[in-house]
Amino acid sequence: MIVSEFDLVLRLVISIGCGMLIGNERKNRSKEAGIRTHIIICLGSCLMMIVSKYGFSDLIFADGAKYDPARIAAQVVSGIGFLGAGMILVKRQTISGLTTAAGMWATSGVGIAIGSGLLKLGIGTAACIVVVQWIFHLEFTRPQYHEVDVLNVVVEADKISLISTYLEKKSIRYEDLRVERLDNHLVCCELHVTITNNAEREAILMMITADEAIKKVEVVEG
């Protein structure tokens, strides 16, 4: 079957849309790999599959040589593992980034499917990835997080005790207090907090309204 270059470019455009769809969901959850990363992964995988499948047709017709169009696709699947590994972090016996890494790997598969001409399969898979992510982030599917996050609080130097008092009042577990002086009046306190539900996360962010001495509250996902 002869495929026009317009059809091939259309596949690239579709892969951009699918990568954007998946990446937007990750971006909305403040993950490291966002829209641009997923677009590039999906687009690059699509391009490499197109090259693998159609890029050597002139050589085949010239001397009758045979080739395996899956060889480049196999290298894409292996190579994307290096990117995914860079997204996985292990900190304080807590692993984060696994879902994002798996999503990047699946996004490369979407690009490969689109590049090979399986447009409905690629688009459907991209939609499934987003829907699955959305469903499993609904509150009823995970009533408890048990995440260990980093809490940074800028507070007046003589009011550090406010932080522990507030967290204990809200029954929020914390440990490893580290204090860094910012100036003569303010310090930045870093703690590791265990968040078990959305209410606790919101309570932490509302800490800034608990006392005028607390100037800034930031939660960095673990």
- Inter-axis angle of helices 119-135 and 98-115, nearest 10: 160
49 vs 30: CA distance, rounded Å: 30
Question: Which of the four pLDDT bands, split at 50, 70 and 90, describes residue 135?
Answer: confident
CB under 8 Å to 143, separation ≥6 — which residues? 197
Bridge partners, residue 187, by sequence: 155, 181
Q: What's the pLDDT tens digit per position in 22-79? A: 888 777 776 667 788 888 888 888 888 888 887 766 665 555 556 666 677 777 777 7
Structure-token pair, residue 27: 């971006």
- Listing DSSP states for the chain in one string gives ----HHHHHHHHHHHHHHHHHHHHHHHHTT-SS-HHHHHHHHHHHHHHHHHHHHTTHHHHHHH-----TTHHHHHHHHHHHHHHHHH-EEETTEEE-HHHHHHHHHHHHHHHHHHTT-HHHHHHHHHHHHHHHHHTTSGGG-S---EEEEEEEEEEGGGTHHHHHHHHHTT-EEEEEEEEE-SSSEEEEEEEEEE-SHHHHHHHHGGGGT-TTEEEEEEE--
Q: What's the pLDDT tens digit per position in 145-173? A: 456 678 888 989 888 888 888 888 888 88
Single-letter amino acid, residue 110: V
**Mean pLDDT, to the nearest integer, of 99-127?**
86
Asked whether the predicted pLDDT for residue 143 surpasses 50, the reply is no
31: number of Cβ within 10 Å:
18
- pTM higher than the cut 0.75: no
**Which structural domains are found in the chain, ordered by start?**
5-141 (no CATH), 147-220 (3.30.70.260)
2 vs 198: CA distance, rounded Å: 54
Q: What's the pLDDT tens digit per position in 81-95? A: 777 676 666 554 455
182 vs 154: CA distance, rounded Å: 9
